[in-house]
């Protein structure tokens, strides 16, 4: 990954004590850092401490940043490292090394929704997924957000981290692989399973004739 010129200016700003530059970084990145930290530790308060410790490490360690990754990747790696250490203390660890795990195998859509092997169309939908409503009132929109959060929280740890980074925070796949030190293929498996599970949780609330159900 190349270091952008924006990165160079930011790094120079932080090194020389330019408070406006640092304040801007705090504004731009802290949200996603809190969310990411929260996936490794058990409370909001712990996540806040992880983010605070990460920024302190950045303030003290910025002179050691060599520009071999983007500044953002570097900072997020410090965050993940800090969060993992803390997660271990809270006995909440996310094992990244042992892919694929049990939860990462098998079909992502209920096999009962598809026709049997001896059917005329084996593996075809028994009935098509019902259409979703394209827009909903503000009350239902709030309800859908609640279900979205519940769906994310219910995911296995690694899937939750990956879908949060990719889809909630909008990081690219290269960035996420670097932050978590996983392969592109493993990242795709986790993302795929997470998205399918979240879609499945959302479906009953968004199907056109099933508003508010079940």
Partner 1 sequence: MSGLSCQEFVELVTDYFEDALDEDTRARFEEHRELCPGCETYLDQIRDTVARLGELPVESLTPEMRATLLSAFRDVRR
Asked if 56 touches partner 1 (CB under 8 A), the answer is yes
Question: Contact at 8 Å (CB) between 122 and 115?
Answer: yes
**Residue in 94, 99, 169, 211 binding partner 1, rule: CB under 8 A:** 169
Question: Contact at 8 Å (CB) between 15 and 9?
Answer: no
**Residue in 199, 204, 210, 211 binding partner 1, rule: CB under 8 A:** 199
Asked if 142 touches partner 1 (CB under 8 A), the answer is no
Question: Contact at 8 Å (CB) between 164 and 47?
Answer: no
- Of the listed pieces 3-11, 68-76, 83-91, 104-112, which binds partner 1 according to CB under 8 A? 104-112
Nearest CA to 6 among 52, 70, 85? 70
CA atoms of 134 and 155, how far apart (whole Å): 25
The set of residues, in sequence order, having a beta carbon less than 8 Å from that of 11 and lying 6+ positions away, is 62, 65, 67, 71
Asked if 31 touches partner 1 (CB under 8 A), the answer is yes
Asked if 81 touches partner 1 (CB under 8 A), the answer is no
Task: For partner 1, give the closer residue by CB, 100 or 129.
Answer: 129
Question: Contact at 8 Å (CB) between 115 and 78?
Answer: no
Transcribe 112-175 into DSSP letters: GGB--TTSSSTT-BSSPPPPBPS---HHHHHHHHHHHHHHHHTS-HHHHHHHIIIIIS---HHH
- Of the listed pieces 10-18, 77-85, 89-97, 175-183, which binds partner 1 according to CB under 8 A? 10-18
Asked if 17 touches partner 1 (CB under 8 A), the answer is yes
Task: For partner 1, give the closer residue by CB, 91 or 212.
Answer: 212
Residues found near partner 1 in the complex (CB under 8 A): 14-17, 19, 22-23, 26-27, 30-32, 34-35, 48, 51-52, 55-56, 59-60, 107-109, 111, 114, 121-125, 127-132, 144-145, 148-149, 152, 163, 167-170, 173, 184-185, 188, 191-192, 195-196, 198-199, 202-203, 206
């Amino acid at each position: 990954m190349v270091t952008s010129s924006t990165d160079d200016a930011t790094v120079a700003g932080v090194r020389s004590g330019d408070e406006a530059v640092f304040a801007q970084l705090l504004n731009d990145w802290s949200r996603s850092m809190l969310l990411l930290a929260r996936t490794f530790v058990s409370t909001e308060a712990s996540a806040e401490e992880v983010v605070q410790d990460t920024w302190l490490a950045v303030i003290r360690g910025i002179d050691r940043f060599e520009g071999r990754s983007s500044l953002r990747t570097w900072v997020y790696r410090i965050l993940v490292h800090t969060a993992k250490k803390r997660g271990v203390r809270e006995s909440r660890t996310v094992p990244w090394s042992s892919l694929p795990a049990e939860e990462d195998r098998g079909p992502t859509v209920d096999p009962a929704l598809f026709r049997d092997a001896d059917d005329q169309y084996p593996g075809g939908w028994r009935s098509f997924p019902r259409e979703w409503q394209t827009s909903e009132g503000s009350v239902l929109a709030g309800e859908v957000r609640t279900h979205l959060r519940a769906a994310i929280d219910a995911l296995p740890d690694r899937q939750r981290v990956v879908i949060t980074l990719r889809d909630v925070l909008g990081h690219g796949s290269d960035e996420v692989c670097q932050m978590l030190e996983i392969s592109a293929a493993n990242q795709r498996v986790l993302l795929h399973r997470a998205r399918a599970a979240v879609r499945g949780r959302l479906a009953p609330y968004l199907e056109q004739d099933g508003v508010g159900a079940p």
